[in-house]
């Protein structure tokens, strides 16, 4: 296919070098954004009288037909094209003749690429946000049903204090709130239109950059420095950073699901639809979705480090190195969106083994702190109470029982302050419900938090 730049060259590009230089294999992902940007540019050129209004109309209708034909499979993007931009311009000229050659007036591939990538990133962020919201809705549904599903809370992966499943999952709900906030912060910061910046120094044509910015939905209007416009990839680095944090949260959650799914814990049963088996061991049921989410986290981190490394030594303004932003960004956006979707499906169909979780909390002595607090309220100094309960825990370990299973006589062998009310004081329900500070797992506090989360999910961004 004809290049957009061949006039000053006397020899054809070496075929191997041409393939090395090509980007159509991945920037074809942006065909829709490229066409939408070109339609806005053509509309502006016609309104400003830079090209004949009739030619602008022809260009817009031609681009619209190309978009429909690609969408519906009637037009295949050629792998012979240098990039998606040259393919679309070539297809346009084929359809409408010389009027198509006027499209690139007042525009460079540099500001065209910058625009396409911003539009693509914006669209993908919105798609991902929908996925994160669906994940939060699934989480909230499980939380509402498990306000009194008691389980051990952990520190150092050791059973620590009793919580509820609702409270535990609420921690992830909070993480995903921050993730969504970060994405919308990025959308706001990147909401400037680079179109009209030219190669790096603007153009002599009287472009109406405000018009194209408005047509393309950029809230803050056009960018303010043409050199920065074509060389800025901050928004993409920020996006990859936000995606990395999302994957870190998913990976932590996946790790817990994997542990809880093990034979040793048996806190959860993953649905057959989100599990796989072994080719050699008939008994196996593997948590592959969770493991893949955990594994793909490193891949997304790699995309972030790749782009940071690419950008660190690039002088102003545009350099071909920046072509390397796309494969990593496309891959990361696709993988994070897929991971969020599949993780949500897995979580929505998972079975929580409530009785096993509660027994684990009891036999893990998660109410030991509450037993010590009971003695403190009876007048014993906390350090002495700590020692008393520590000795009781040793007894229980020897017998393979929980603190609740000790008789009152056995408890009094360590302290005469114990009375019959100890059993209510250290029941898991009491231990949890009396924790009423804001953010604690007590059922009254959790009901407030769930009500807040319901309102949060109803808000439109």
Does 211 lie in the same domain as 144? yes
Residue 319 sits in the same domain as residue 345: yes
Contact predicate 316/280, CB 8 Å:
no
pLDDT at 6: 61
Residue 403: inside a domain: yes
H or E, element range at 27? helix 24-27
**Percent of the chain scoring above 70 in pLDDT:** 98
Annotated catalytic sites, by residue? 156, 278
Length of the chain counted residue by residue: 461
Residue-level pLDDT at 221? 98
**Phi/psi at 281 (nearest 5 deg)?**
-110, 105
Please tell me the predicted confidence (pLDDT) of residue 10: 63
Determine, yes or no, domain membership for 1.
no
Q: Does residue 461 register a pLDDT over 80? A: no
pLDDT at 2 over 60: no
Token duo for residue 150: 């008691």
Supply the mean pLDDT for the chain. 95
My answer on whether 381 and 452 are in the same domain is: yes
* CATH number of domain containing 440: 1.10.40.30
Q: What's the pLDDT score for residue 448?
A: 96
Same domain, yes or no: 158 and 286: yes
Q: Are residues 344 and 433 in the same domain?
A: no
**pLDDT, position 7:** 64
CA distances from 412 to 126, 140, 408, 425 (A): 62, 43, 6, 15
The domain boundary residue, chosen from 72, 105, 138: 105
Indicate the pTM of the whole model. 0.93
Is 80 exceeded by the pLDDT of residue 288?
yes
Reported confidence tier of residue 311, pLDDT bands at 50, 70, 90: very high
Residue 187: inside a domain: yes
Predicted confidence at residue 458, as pLDDT, reads: 95
Residue 276, H or E segment: none
Position 300 pLDDT exceeds 70: yes
Average of per-residue pLDDT across 406-421: 95
Question: Are residue 236 and residue 315 in the same domain, yes or no?
Answer: yes
Does residue 450 have a pLDDT over 60? yes
Per-residue pLDDT, 283 = 85
Q: Is pLDDT at 3 greater than 70 in this prediction?
A: no
Mean pLDDT of all residues in 439-454: 96
| pLDDT tens figures, 190-223 | 999 999 999 999 999 999 999 999 999 999 999 9
- Distance in angstroms (rounded) separating the CA atoms of residues 382 and 365: 18
Mean pLDDT of 369-397: 95
Residue 356 has pLDDT above 80, yes or no: yes
pLDDT reading at 316 higher than 90: yes
Query: What is the domain extent for residue 444?
Result: 363-458
Residue where one domain finishes, among candidates 327, 358, 389:
358
């Amino acid at each position: 296919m004809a290049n957009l730049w061949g006039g000053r060259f006397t020899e054809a590009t070496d075929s191997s070098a041409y393939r090395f230089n090509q980007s159509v294999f991945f920037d074809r992902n942006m065909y829709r954004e490229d066409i939408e940007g070109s339609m806005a540019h053509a509309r502006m050129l016609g309104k400003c009288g830079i090209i004949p209004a009739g030619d602008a109309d022809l260009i817009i209708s031609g681009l619209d037909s190309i978009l429909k034909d690609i969408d519906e499979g009637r037009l295949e993007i050629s792998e012979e094209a240098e990039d998606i931009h040259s393919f679309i311009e070539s297809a346009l000229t084929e359809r409408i003749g010389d009027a198509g050659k006027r499209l690139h007036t007042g525009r460079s591939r540099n500001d065209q690429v910058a625009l396409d990538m911003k539009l693509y990133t914006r669209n993908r962020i919105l798609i991902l946000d929908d996925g994160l919201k669906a994940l939060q809705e699934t989480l909230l549904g499980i939380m509402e049903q498990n306000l009194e599903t008691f389980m051990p809370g952990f520190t150092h992966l050791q059973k620590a204090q009793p919580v509820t499943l609702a409270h535990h999952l609420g921690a992830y709900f909070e993480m995903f709130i921050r993730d969504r906030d970060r994405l919308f912060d990025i959308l706001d910061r990147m909401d400037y239109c680079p179109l009209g910046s030219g190669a790096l120094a603007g153009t002599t044509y009287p472009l109406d950059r405000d018009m194209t910015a408005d047509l393309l939905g950029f809230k803050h209007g056009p960018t303010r420095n043409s050199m920065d416009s074509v060389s800025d990839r901050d928004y993409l680095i920020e996006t990859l950073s936000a995606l990395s944090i999302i994957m870190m949260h998913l990976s932590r959650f996946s790790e817990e699901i994997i542990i809880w799914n093990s034979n040793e814990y048996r806190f959860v049963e993953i649905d057959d639809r989100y599990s796989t088996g072994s080719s050699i061991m008939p008994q196996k049921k593997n948590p592959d979705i969770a493991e893949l989410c955990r594994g793909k986290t490193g891949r997304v981190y790699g995309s972030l480090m790749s782009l940071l490394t690419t950008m660190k030594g690039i002088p102003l303004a545009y350099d071909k190195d920046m072509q390397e932003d796309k494969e990593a960004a496309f891959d990361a956006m696709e993988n994070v969106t897929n991971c969020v979707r599949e993780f949500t499906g897995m979580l929505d169909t998972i079975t929580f083994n409530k009785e096993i979780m509660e027994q684990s909390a009891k036999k893990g002595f998660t109410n030991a702190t509450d037993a010590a607090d009971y003695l403190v309220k009876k007048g014993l100094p906390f350090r002495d109470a700590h020692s008393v309960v520590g000795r009781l825990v040793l007894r229980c370990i020897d017998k393979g029982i929980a603190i609740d299973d000790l008789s009152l006589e056995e408890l009094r062998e360590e302290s005469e302050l114990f009375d019959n009310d100890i059993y209510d004081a250290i029941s898991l329900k009491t231990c949890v419900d009396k924790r009423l500070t804001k953010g604690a797992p007590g059922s009254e506090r959790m009901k407030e938090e769930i009500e807040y989360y319901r309102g949060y999910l109803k808000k439109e961004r």
